[in-house]
Chains A and B, each alone.
Chain A
């Protein structure tokens, strides 16, 4: 039931670094998480995308040395898709995910603290209905612990290089778009300042400009 002390201490150290990174990444914040799903703030995608690319290069590079091994979760169709649907609805409304919810508690956010209790209740519901659930989850079949390169019979490095290129292109696009948007905002507020003296701004323009200047 318990890990040896050195292993628990390693877990604590790993967690502390993870917590600092999540807090400094600003993802322990409701408006950043919800903003991602409304496509107004791309922080979550930038962090997760970089983590996946950097992580995959290291793990697959270390594999031949046997310093690490893969820990693949089984592709139980009903569980993964049904779980993903529940998770997506819950996360969008809650505004934190499990890890960032715990980090949000560290920031002092009280709705996240209640969320930790809610997460325990949700986990308890899963454990107590496990005997009934396990049959249902397996009803759609189980494709096993497969990776994308295995299931397509391709090299993992093909996928990793593809992911790297996709990430670079995606991040470059986000940078280009946000630069364009801030230039447009500057332009708009300059025009607004010029017309303010002789012409009253239309009421529908006003909130947009106030927001842009903030």
Chain B
């Protein structure tokens, strides 16, 4: 029998069903919806608190929220570990800095790609925290609970991302 981990890809429907079952597991064992971005918020809050003296008293965030390193944080570590294992066992490693489709639109400058990656990922995470969830917390976990907030978030971000992608990458880029 061949090792499924050695395959480079699985059917998207099988992967989706797997994530669905995994979300039952997360709800049942930990009482948590599967999510990623809360851990980033808590990490940033703890770093800021350690770096800026007196922030805990001056910023109301620390009275209303209790940042922690726990289940959600370990999920993020696990995603990195799991993806590393998966890509090593199948040989699907892509140690690239400038993705081909980006290169065909904006050229091969690594500095430019990394600068924009830093800014766009920052904007994305800022948005995720405004809405209290990302593609996992709202898009999957919230939508599957039929949460009104999650469906509104998912439809909004998808529509805006489509408009942005056509404006930024457009039809001119080649299929890569």
Name A's B-contacting residues (CB within 8 A).
1-3, 7-26, 28-31, 34-35, 37-40, 43, 46-59, 62, 67-76, 79-112, 114-128, 130-131, 133-134, 137, 143, 145-149, 151, 156, 159-160, 171, 207, 211
Q: Does B53 contact A (CB under 8 A)?
A: no
A10-B30, A16-B85, A21-B22 known; A79 and B130 CB under 8 Å? yes
Interface residues of B in 160-176 (CB under 8 A from A): 160-166, 168-169, 171, 174-176
Question: Is B148 within 8 A of A114, CB to CB?
Answer: no
Within the complex, which residue of B16, B41, B123, B145 is in contact with A127, where a contact is CB–CB below 8 Å? B41
- B residues within 8 A CB of A62? 24, 27-28
Give the contacting residue for A21; candidates B19, B24, B153; CB below 8 A.
B19
B87→A51 contact, CB < 8 A: no
Q: Besides A51-B20, A89-B160, A126-B129, 9 other CB < 8 A contacts?
A: A19-B85, A59-B24, A85-B156, A85-B157, A101-B121, A106-B82, A108-B95, A121-B44, A143-B149
Q: Which residues of the other chain, B, contact A28 by a CB distance below 8 angstroms?
A: 83
The 8 A CB mask of B104-127 against A (1 = contact, 0 = none) is 000000000110111111111111
Q: In the complex, what's the smallest C-beta–C-beta distance from A134 to chain B, in angstroms?
A: 7
Report 13 cross-chain contacts, Cβ distance below 8 Å, ordered by A residue. A11-B74, A14-B34, A18-B79, A31-B176, A46-B12, A58-B20, A58-B21, A73-B133, A92-B168, A98-B124, A130-B61, A146-B149, A151-B148
List residues of B whose CB falls within 8 A of some A CB: 5, 7-10, 12-13, 15-34, 36-37, 40-41, 43-48, 59-61, 66-87, 90, 92-102, 113-114, 116-166, 168-169, 171, 174-176
Given A20-B86, A93-B168, A99-B136, the answer on whether A171 and B13 have CB atoms closer than 8 Å is: yes
Q: Do residues A84 and B156 form an inter-chain contact, with CB atoms below 8 A? A: yes
List A contacts of B90 (CB < 8 A): 24
How far apart sit A146 and B145, CA to CA, in the bound complex (Å)? 10
Interface hub of A48, A156, A159 (most chain B Cβ within 10 A): A48
B22–A86 touching, CB < 8 Å: no
With A12-B77, A106-B84, A151-B148 as known contacts, state yes or no: A124 contacts B70, CB within 8 Å. Answer: no
In whole angstroms, what is the CA distance A51 to B75 when docked? 18
A70 to chain B, nearest CB (A): 5
Residue of A nearest to B58 (CB): A131
Which chain A positions have C-beta within 8 A of B98? 111
Q: How far is the CA of A25 from the CA of B17 in the complex (A)?
A: 11
Cα(A112)–Cα(B74), bound, Å: 19
In the complex the two chains form, is B124's CB within 8 Å of A211's CB?
Answer: no
Most buried by B among A81, A89, A148: A89
Q: Which residues on the B side are within 8 Å of A68 (C-beta)?
A: 24, 27-28, 31
- Nearest neighbor of B33 in chain A, beta-carbon distance: A71
Complex alpha-carbon distance, A70 and B33, angstroms: 9
Chain A residues within 8 Å of B67, by CB = 1
Q: Smallest CB-CB separation from B123: which chain A residue?
A: A90
Residues of B within 8 A of A7 (CB): 30, 70-71
Is the CB–CB distance between A30 and B124 below 8 Å? Answer: no
State how many angstroms separate the Cβ of B174 from the closest Cβ of chain A.
7
A211 to B156, CA, bound (A): 33
Q: How close is A62's CB to chain B, nearest CB, in angstroms?
A: 7
| A20 with B5, Cβ < 8 A, contacts A11-B75, A80-B149, A109-B96 known | yes
**A25-B15 contact given A18-B79, A98-B124, A106-B86, CB 8 Å threshold:** yes
Structural contact, A114 and B118, CB atoms closer than 8 A: yes
B46 to chain A, nearest CB (A): 8
